[in-house]
Amino acid sequence: MTVTVRICPNDTWHFTASRAHDDGGVGVGSMFPPGAWTVAGAVRTAIGDHLGVEWGALARGDGRRHRLGDRLDLLDVIGVGDDLGQLRFSGPWVGSTRGRLFRAPSMLVETSGRELARLRVGHPIECDLGRVALPVSPESGITTLHDHWLTASGMAAALSGDLPAATEVISQSSLMSKEGRLGIELDRSTRTAVDGQLYQTTHLRPVDGSVSIEVDVSGIDRGMMPEASALRFGGEGRIAHIEVTGEAGAIPEVPVAGTGVRGLVLVLLTHADLDGGWLPPGAQRIDGDDTRWRVVINETEVVIRSAIIGRARREGGWDLVQRAPRPVRSLVPAGSVWYCEVPAGDLATAASALHGASIGRDQALGRGILAAGLWVEREHPEGQG
């Protein structure tokens, strides 16, 4: 059974970026949405608190202290540390009054006239990356849709090869406002301020009180989860409200491939850990052609012709078991896209197999979820005349 867990702020949120507080500069910003480990930790905390877990014993691996009946040990269910046990996550997602939101695909841009446009794939050229087919802009003066989101219907339009309506594009600033905070280090032994140890953080406050973080959870009986509770969430332990809904959310349906379609556009819906690279795991250059890469995803072979990869998302976090920071990893951000051709089989079958599939590391955490869109004729190098 899969359920959706929704986390709503009671006040503000702070999700620490990968910079340290003593790294100089103007302070530590806040990521949005929070990292997958932060969300997974909140869900496991809510489950454990609901079942009366003694967290110290659980961290030591003393499963006998948390046996549920005669057959089930809580360690097997929610795991500990990097072990997720039976839990499987999809997300995290952003919830709003407009429903679930998705990061705007990087193939969408805004023109100088404030209108939406789509990038297309150009013919291969020599550049500092080698001989590659780069995205081509329809005109000069474009800006990316960084920190913008699409509604489900807007994402469906983008996957179909169309442009979403302007009303389906939502800026992050219309969801969350930023608040600067100033703090000072305390000497716990004397409970006094430490001279010169000031720091700044950025908190996020929902603009209309409707923004939430959602994650779809499977692998656990719903009776083991609280219907609603309060918990500390993110940096500085801000109080949030967590609730469980009966039905999991869904990603937009796979589009129907009609005439004038040359391939597929694979859009990342959640950040992917590709071990610091930009290609899906297993991708290999095709012999004799240095502009194409062959890769098999979910038993479906595709040939990558081009990609639009956003700025790397740096995520670390705090390991409560080890009481130490998690290693910071560079993730391919949600919204990144790969333009692919399908060498064998039909596009509809390939799209169905790839839509909702995952790539990279930590898939059980919700990383690397793909949506399959249509690569239409007018955006293909051979379809531009």
With bands split at pLDDT 50, 70 and 90, how would you rate the model's confidence at 108? Answer: very high
Residue 158 lies in a domain: no
Residue 326 lies in a domain: yes
For residue 312, give every residue at least 6 positions away whose Cβ sits within 8 Å of its Cβ, in sequence order, or none: 330, 331, 332, 333
Same domain flag for 203 and 125: no
Same domain flag for 302 and 214: no
Residue 150 lies in a domain: no
Q: Which of 337, 338, 318, 328 is nearest to 276 (CA)?
A: 328
pLDDT of the residue at 92: 95
Question: CA torsion sign, 190 to 195 to 197 to 200?
Answer: positive
pLDDT of the residue at 338: 97
Which pLDDT tens digit goes with each residue over 340-369? 999 987 899 999 999 999 999 999 999 999
Say which residue the tokens 């990609």 belong to. 307
Residue 71 lies in a domain: yes
With bands split at pLDDT 50, 70 and 90, how would you rate the model's confidence at 221? Answer: confident
Which pLDDT tens digit goes with each residue over 141-199? 889 998 999 999 999 999 999 999 999 999 999 999 888 888 887 888 888 888 877 77
How many Å apart are CA 363 and CA 44, to the nearest integer?
17
Cα first-last separation, the chain? 50
Structural domain ending residue among the three candidates 245, 277, 306: 245
Q: How far is C-alpha 220 from the geometric centre of its chain's CA atoms?
A: 22
> Cα dist. 143→39, 148, 312 in Å?
31, 12, 18
pLDDT of the residue at 75: 75
Structural domain ending residue among the three candidates 223, 245, 267: 245
For residue 243, give every residue at least 6 positions away whose Cβ sits within 8 Å of its Cβ, in sequence order, or none: 5, 6, 8, 227, 228, 229
Same domain flag for 302 and 221: no
CATH number at residue 139: 2.60.40.4350
Say which residue the tokens 């994650």 belong to. 215
Instruction: State the amino acid at position 285 in one-letter form.
Output: R
Question: CA torsion sign, 305 to 308 to 314 to 315?
Answer: negative
With bands split at pLDDT 50, 70 and 90, how would you rate the model's confidence at 335? Answer: very high
Same domain flag for 258 and 353: yes
pLDDT of the residue at 28: 66
CATH number at residue 90: 3.30.70
How many Å apart are CA 267 and CA 347, to the nearest integer?
16
Which pLDDT tens digit goes with each residue over 254-298? 998 778 899 999 999 999 999 999 999 999 999 878 789 999 999
Provide the residue range defining the domain that includes 239: 2-99+173-245
How many folded domains does the chain comprise?
2
Structural domain ending residue among the three candidates 245, 277, 295: 245
Is the model's pLDDT at 321 over the cut of 70? no
Same domain flag for 186 and 58: yes
Same domain flag for 133 and 277: yes
